[in-house]
Amino acid sequence: MSRAAVLWPLPALAACLLLPWLPVLPPFWITLANYIGIAAIVAIGLVVLTGVGGITSFGQASFLGFGAYTTAILTAQAGLSPWLTLPAALLVAALAALVIGAVTLRLSGHYLALGTIAWGVALYYTFANLDLFGRNDGISGIPPLRLFGVALVDGRAYCSVIWVGVVLAALATGNLLDSRAGRAIRALRGGALAAASFGVRTPQSRTLAFVYAAMLAAFAGWLYAHMQRSVNPTPFGINAGIQYLLMAVVGGAGQIPGAILGAGLVTVVNDLLQDWLPRILGAHGNFETIVFGAILVLALQTAPDGLWPLLARHRPRRRRIRYDAPSLPHRQMPPRGSPVLEVEGLRRAFGGLVAVNDVSFRLAAGEIVGLIGPNGAGKSTTFNLLTGVDRPTAGSVSFLGHRLVGLGAPAIARLGIARTFQHVKLVPSMSVIENVVIGAHLRGRAGPLRGLLRLDRAEEAQLHAEAARQLARVGLAEQADRPATSLALGQQRVVEIARALCLDPVLLLLDEPAAGLRHNEKAELAALLRRLRGEGVTILLVEHDMEFVMNLTDRLVVMDFGVKLAEGAPAAVRNDPAVIEAYLGSVA
Stretch that binds ligand ATP, among 133-141, 371-379, 479-487, 564-572 (CB under 6 A): 371-379
Q: Is the dihedral of CA 438, 441, 443, 444 positive or negative?
A: positive
| Whether the Cβ atoms of residue 357 and residue 401 lie closer than 8 Å to each other | no
Stretch that binds ligand ATP, among 63-71, 135-143, 194-202, 372-380 (CB under 6 A): 372-380
- How near is the Cβ of 559 to ligand ATP at its closest, in Å? 7
Task: Indicate whether 388 belongs to the interface with ligand ATP (CB under 6 A).
Answer: no
Closer by beta carbon to ligand ATP, 250 or else 559? 559
Stretch that binds ligand ATP, among 359-367, 370-378, 463-471, 515-523 (CB under 6 A): 370-378
- How near is the Cβ of 492 to ligand ATP at its closest, in Å? 17
Stretch that binds ligand ATP, among 34-42, 186-194, 349-357, 451-459 (CB under 6 A): 349-357
The strand pairing partners of 295, in sequence order, are none
- Report CA-CA distances (Å) from 564 to 144, 387, 419, 457: 74, 19, 21, 49
- How near is the Cβ of 74 to ligand ATP at its closest, in Å? 52
**Structure-derived torsion over alpha carbons of residues 148, 93, 184, 245, reported in degrees to the nearest 10:** -90
Contacts of 435 (CB under 8 A, 6+ apart): 191, 426, 427, 484, 495, 499
Closer by beta carbon to ligand ATP, 459 or else 560? 560
| Whether the Cβ atoms of residue 488 and residue 516 lie closer than 8 Å to each other | yes
| Cα 506 from Cα 267, distance rounded (Å) | 55
| Cα 487 from Cα 502, distance rounded (Å) | 20
Count Cβ atoms within 10 A of the Cβ of residue 24 and give its class: 0-12 exposed, 13-18 middle, 19 or more buried: exposed
Task: Indicate whether 21 belongs to the interface with ligand ATP (CB under 6 A).
Answer: no
Closer by beta carbon to ligand ATP, 186 or else 522? 522
Closer by beta carbon to ligand ATP, 295 or else 372? 372
Q: Is the dihedral of CA 351, 357, 361, 366 positive or negative?
A: negative
Closer by beta carbon to ligand ATP, 144 or else 376? 376
Contacts of 106 (CB under 8 A, 6+ apart): none
Task: Indicate whether 391 belongs to the interface with ligand ATP (CB under 6 A).
Answer: no
| Cα 369 from Cα 184, distance rounded (Å) | 32
Helices (H), 512-574: 519-534, 546-552, 570-574
- How near is the Cβ of 562 to ligand ATP at its closest, in Å? 7
User: Binding residue for ligand ATP (CB under 6 A) from 376, 475, 490, 568?
Assistant: 376
- How near is the Cβ of 415 to ligand ATP at its closest, in Å? 23
- How near is the Cβ of 15 to ligand ATP at its closest, in Å? 54
User: Binding residue for ligand ATP (CB under 6 A) from 301, 327, 332, 375?
Assistant: 375
Closest CA to 194 of 461, 511, 467, 453: 511
- How near is the Cβ of 379 to ligand ATP at its closest, in Å? 4
Task: Indicate whether 380 belongs to the interface with ligand ATP (CB under 6 A).
Answer: yes
Closer by beta carbon to ligand ATP, 381 or else 462? 381
In the chain, the largest separation of any two C-alpha atoms, in whole Å, equals 91
Count of residues engaged in binding ligand ATP, rule: CB under 6 A: 12
Secondary structure tally for the chain: helices H, strands E: 24, 14
User: Binding residue for ligand ATP (CB under 6 A) from 138, 174, 252, 373?
Assistant: 373
Closer by beta carbon to ligand ATP, 461 or else 508? 508
Closer by beta carbon to ligand ATP, 110 or else 423? 423
Q: What is the DSSP string of 430-499?
A: SBHHHHHHHTTGGG----HHHHHTT--HHHHHHHHHHHHHHHHHTT-GGGTTSBGGGS-HHHHHHHHHHH
Closer by beta carbon to ligand ATP, 214 or else 557? 557
Q: What is the DSSP string of 279-310?
A: HHHTS-S-HHHHHHHHHHHHHHHH-TT-SHHH
The number of C-alpha atoms within 13 Å of 371 and in the hemisphere containing its C-beta is: 29
Stretch that binds ligand ATP, among 54-62, 166-174, 299-307, 347-355 (CB under 6 A): 347-355
- How near is the Cβ of 343 to ligand ATP at its closest, in Å? 15
| Cα 549 from Cα 371, distance rounded (Å) | 9
Stretch that binds ligand ATP, among 41-49, 213-221, 338-346, 378-386 (CB under 6 A): 378-386
Count Cβ atoms within 10 A of the Cβ of residue 521 and give its class: 0-12 exposed, 13-18 middle, 19 or more buried: middle
Task: Indicate whether 352 belongs to the interface with ligand ATP (CB under 6 A).
Answer: no
Closer by beta carbon to ligand ATP, 152 or else 566? 566
- How near is the Cβ of 276 to ligand ATP at its closest, in Å? 54
Stretch that binds ligand ATP, among 171-179, 211-219, 237-245, 369-377 (CB under 6 A): 369-377
Closer by beta carbon to ligand ATP, 45 or else 378? 378
Task: Indicate whether 355 belongs to the interface with ligand ATP (CB under 6 A).
Answer: yes
- How near is the Cβ of 424 to ligand ATP at its closest, in Å? 13
- How near is the Cβ of 405 to ligand ATP at its closest, in Å? 18
Contacts of 47 (CB under 8 A, 6+ apart): 173, 248, 253, 254, 255, 256, 258, 259
User: Binding residue for ligand ATP (CB under 6 A) from 95, 151, 300, 353?
Assistant: 353
Cβ neighbours of 406 (radius 10 Å): 10
Closest CA to 551 of 564, 570, 525, 528: 570
Closer by beta carbon to ligand ATP, 357 or else 462? 357
Task: Indicate whether 393 belongs to the interface with ligand ATP (CB under 6 A).
Answer: no
User: Binding residue for ligand ATP (CB under 6 A) from 174, 334, 378, 505?
Assistant: 378
User: Binding residue for ligand ATP (CB under 6 A) from 186, 189, 379, 419?
Assistant: 379
By CB under 6 A, the residues from 408 to 427 that bind ligand ATP are 422
Residue at 323: amino acid letter: Y
Task: Report the SS3 class of residue 586.
Answer: coil
- How near is the Cβ of 376 to ligand ATP at its closest, in Å? 4
First-last CA distance in the chain? 54
| Cα 569 from Cα 579, distance rounded (Å) | 13
Note the residues at the interface with ligand ATP (CB under 6 A): 350, 353, 355, 373, 375-381, 422
